[in-house]
Amino acid sequence: MAASLSERDWQLREHIYQFLVEHTRPPTIGETAVVFAMTEDEARSAYQRLHDAHTLFLEPGTTEVRMANPLSAAVTPYRVTVNGRTLFANCAWDSLGIPAMLGADASIESVYTGADGSDTPSQYAIVNGTLGGDDGIVHFPLPFRRWYNDLVHT
């Protein structure tokens, strides 16, 4: 799938990631079109190609970025504070991926909902590449091969 992506598509993807980290939101189609001197239709097509290649995830039925793994454009229970900015991760695993991706320390706050529906707050951190914080366990209820069946709720 990724073989159909052009070098410009990959550059556009990198732009989306950098923009999201810097502004704590993804760029709009219009903002991306300006940076790459392309039409908004060309930018929409590029976003769709990136989505189709699973290099980012668009809000269903739109060309708005929902996920640029490990980053979430939506507010989630996984709040990652890194380099003075608060970013959101898609899940516990991705909350560790953000500081790894940025090569930076991070503090992470989360809320885990138990089988009984109760919420338990959790705090952990990455300092000098080492995980520390609350004792806990991360459970993945579905195997990876099934995540794209419903990526938002996996």
For every residue of 16-62, DSSP letters joined together read HHHHHHHHSSPPPHHHHHHHTT--HHHHHHHHHHHHHTTSSEEPTTS
| 40-94 per-position pLDDT tens digit | 999 999 999 999 999 999 999 999 999 999 999 999 999 999 999 999 999 888 9
CATH number of the domain located at residue range(s) 74-133 in this protein: 3.15.10.60
Q: How confident is the model at residue 131 (pLDDT cuts 50, 70, 90)?
A: confident
Q: How confident is the model at residue 19 (pLDDT cuts 50, 70, 90)?
A: very high
**How far apart, in whole angstroms, are the C-alpha atoms of residue 80 and residue 110?**
9
Contact 62, 70 (CB under 8 A): no
CATH number of the domain located at residue range(s) 2-68 in this protein: 1.10.10.10
Residue 151 has pLDDT above 60, yes or no: no
Sketch the domain layout of the chain as residue ranges. 2-68, 74-133
